[in-house]
Amino acid sequence: MNITIENILLIGSALLFISIIAGKTSYRVGLPTLILFLATGMLAGSEGIGKIYFNDPKIAQFIGIVSLNFILFSGGMDTNWKSIKPIFWQGISLSTIGVLLTATSLGVFVWAVTDFTIYEGLLLGAIVSSTDAAAVFSILRSKNIALKTNIRPTLELESGSNDPMAYFLTIAFLSLVINQDESIWTIVPMFLKQISLGVLLGFLFGKAGKYAINKINIDFEGLYPVLAIAIMFFTFSATDFVGGNGFLAVYLCAVYLGNQDIIHKKTIVRMFDGLAWLMQIALFITLGLLVYPSHIPPIFGIGILISVFLIFIARPLSVFLSLAFFRMKLRRRWYISWVGLRGAVPIVFATYPLLAGIDKADLIFNIVFFVSVTSVLVQGTTLSVVAKWLHVSLPEKVKRKTPMDIFLSDSAKSALEEIYLYPESPSVGKKIVDLHFPKNAIIAMIKRDGKYITPNGMTVLESGDFLVVLAENKDGIAQVYDSLQMPRPEQEYEME
């Protein structure tokens, strides 16, 4: 069946619906959603029951790049700086040194046991060197796994930030495969340029994005997420245009914005969460369509060998070496080693050799697909079992909410306070977005001149306003008074 303009919407909507139902089922049985999304694409493909012919790596790569932008931006917006600050350097070490060690150790192994050249082996190692945040946390949520101390923030930071390093290594080793007369040291200047420009422009575009969102007074709330999408794509394309790492810049831009006070932040976060899921589904289905199931059995033997080495040797080795200078209990290192799921990102990166037309491109793609699926099936289905076995999971009664769970929950606010703004109040004349309100409190309504208005970040507070404030608890109310630079009622009483 060929995709035409007449049936593309019908086919696309049907596949989305099937994937969503499959994803709901996977949550109940604990099967990773990635597998079901890929299976949906494979069943719809030319060798499946759908008979849809799709063999265009260029379109698949384009969909992959767009999808990764949304996934990284959504992950960055969800990253709470306070939670990752204590483990910042551990996460960065895992996402840089850990990725490099995984790529090189696996690459050398592939070179030793196959007829791959050393550069071809390193290319394959680079492609599968990053972990998949979407796969990891969808399984953690479906299994309701809560982890001790800072394991979850560490995994979150590593998974969200290691794709840029894997992307750089993939491009670098691919260039060495194409130009084998070049020295491996030629990639060092490329690395320094990509990373430095990615970091610099990521934060610069983040600051510019905050200014644009807060200063451009848009009449329609629904346009603020559209503005955020424009900032995201401009950050990626502009950074990539000057030779920087666009994926790194997008992630850092989102981390910056996610930890700032911006207008309609909840709306933006929720929309990106939905779009990230949409992009994941579209990406997995596309990659499933691109795969020919009949090409997998011939590489089954070498695929198993590479998967075993990656899961039981390369990943633990990279984790233990990259965390060697940090204090962490042995069982927590082992669990981080086990949560090394490969997902859609390696399959997307495997399209680069296909487009470059190197000799073993098809073989590399099929091996990467097999390794990714094997990783999700073996590691993904055993995360909760291994967490209990290593004693790193929290008991049900003490499971904690993440900052984003509290932030996104409308029912989390239980304390109510009505605050009157006197003419001399320091907050009079200021926009709400400039008050740096605590994340666990909101101004639900403002009573002004006998009328109730629903505020947003651009609302300017006026003398005589009655602020109806909702907070998670009394401490949140106290923080609101601090943000308004007003004495708390008990402080006023003490002063009298």
Which of 9-23, 93-107, 376-390 ranks highest by mean pLDDT? 93-107
Where does 129-264 have alpha helices with state H? 133-142, 151-161, 163-178, 187-215, 223-241, 246-258
Tell how strand 466-471 and strand 451-453 pair up.
unpaired
**394 with 400: CB under 8 angstroms?**
yes
Q: Token digits for 254?
A: 């989102």
CA distance 363 to 342: 18
Confidence of residue 435 (pLDDT cuts 50, 70, 90): confident
Q: Token digits for 135?
A: 């796969």
Mean pLDDT of 161-166: 90
pLDDT tens track for 176-207: 999 888 888 888 898 999 999 999 999 999 99
Mean pLDDT of 146-165: 84
DSSP result, 404-425 = HHHHH-TT---EEEEEE--TT-
Around 4, how many Cα atoms within 13 Å sit in the side-chain half-sphere?
4
The percent of residues in the chain predicted with pLDDT above 70, rounded, is 87
Mean pLDDT of 46-61: 84
Q: Which residues touch 269 (CB under 8 Å, ≥6 apart)? A: 77, 78, 258, 404, 407, 408
Confidence of residue 434 (pLDDT cuts 50, 70, 90): confident
Where does 294-350 have alpha helices with state H? 300-309, 315-322, 330-338, 344-349
CA distance 129 to 109: 14
The percent of residues in the chain predicted with pLDDT above 90, rounded, is 40
Confidence of residue 84 (pLDDT cuts 50, 70, 90): confident
Task: Tell me the C-alpha to C-alpha distance, in Å, between residue 40 and each of 37, 103, 309, 422.
Answer: 5, 30, 29, 61
pLDDT of 447: 87
Around 23, how many Cα atoms within 13 Å sit in the side-chain half-sphere?
22
Q: Which residue has the higher pLDDT, 463 or 14?
A: 463
pLDDT of 110: 97
pLDDT tens track for 376-412: 888 888 888 898 898 887 765 455 454 444 444 444 4
Q: In what order do the strands lie in the sheet with 451-453?
A: 415-420, 466-471, 441-448, 451-453
CA distance 354 to 341: 23
Beta bridge mates, 468: 418, 445
CA distance 77 to 58: 29
pLDDT of 395: 64
Answer yes or no: is pLDDT of 81 > 60.
yes
Confidence of residue 28 (pLDDT cuts 50, 70, 90): low
Answer yes or no: is pLDDT of 166 > 90.
yes
- Mean per-residue pLDDT of the chain: 85
Mean pLDDT of 273-301: 87
pLDDT of 485: 84
Tell how strand 415-420 and strand 466-471 pair up.
antiparallel
Residue ranges and CATH numbers for the domains of the chain are 8-398 (1.20.1530.20), 412-495 (3.30.70.1450)
**134 with 71: CB under 8 angstroms?**
yes
Q: Token digits for 256?
A: 């910056």
Answer yes or no: is pLDDT of 454 > 50.
yes
Q: Which residue has the higher pLDDT, 135 or 494?
A: 135
The alpha-carbon radius of gyration of the chain (Å, integer) is 25
CA distance 125 to 306: 10
Beta bridge mates, 469: 417, 443
Burial of 29 (0-12, 13-18, 19+ CB in 10 A): exposed
Determine which of 44-58, 259-273, 358-372 has the lowest per-residue pLDDT on average.
44-58
